[in-house]
Amino acid sequence: MPKIISIVPDVEIIFSLPRRKIIENKSIIHLLAQYIGTTVKFDDINRAQLFSLEEEMQDLVIVINHSNFTFLTDQEFEDNSSES
């Protein structure tokens, strides 16, 4: 189950997934995306899953908003957050 980091209703949702955790129920990501009024493609979820399985990281961080579905390592997320 994803751990929700941040929800801004109608704008963005950010959550993390433990390293190498398989997203068995991809519909949870669809439901989270629908909560903010957007959709997510299964191909995007599969790419994030492959990235999580291949990279050395603690958590996979996924950012969903109306214009992007972004996934990155926890370290990249922390670096980007500290730059803002």
pLDDT in tens, 44-65: 988 888 888 877 778 889 999 9
| 8 A C-beta contact, residue 2 and residue 31 | no
Looking at residue 4, the DSSP 8-state letter turns out to be E
Confidence band for 1, pLDDT divided at 50, 70 and 90: low
Q: Which domain holds residue 78?
A: 3-83
How far apart CA 8 and CA 34 sit, in angstroms, is 13
| Number of separate domains in the chain | 1
Give me the sign of the Cα torsion angle 34, 39, 41, 44.
negative
Q: CA–CA distance from 64 to each of 33, 54, 56 (Å)?
A: 7, 21, 22
pTM value?
0.82
Specify whether the CB–CB gap between 54 and 20 falls below 8 A: no
**Percent of the chain at pLDDT exceeding 90:** 14
